[in-house]
Amino acid sequence: MTTHIASQTQSQPAVTLGARITTACVAGVLGMALVYLAGFSHVPAVHNAAHDTRHSAAFPCH
């Protein structure tokens, strides 16, 4: 008895440099927006959740 294993190769589309740059820019803007919003939030729960991280990154919050 012989067993045949069918193998399929799926080619993945190449990620272009433009797509990588766009992704990096979007991630950077999102990150900066989150830091800004958490840094100047007047909600105590948001302030306390991000407090130590902000101070370790030398971001003033007081």
* The predicted structure's pLDDT at residue 36: 81
Q: Dihedrals φ, ψ of 44, to 5°? A: -60, -35
* The predicted structure's pLDDT at residue 6: 64
Compute the distance between CA of residue 44 and CA of residue 59 in angstroms, rounded to an integer: 17
What pLDDT, in 10s, does the model give residues 2-31?
666 666 666 777 889 999 999 999 999 998
Compute the distance between CA of residue 54 and CA of residue 39 in angstroms, rounded to an integer: 7
pTM: 0.54
Compute the distance between CA of residue 50 and CA of residue 40 in angstroms, rounded to an integer: 11
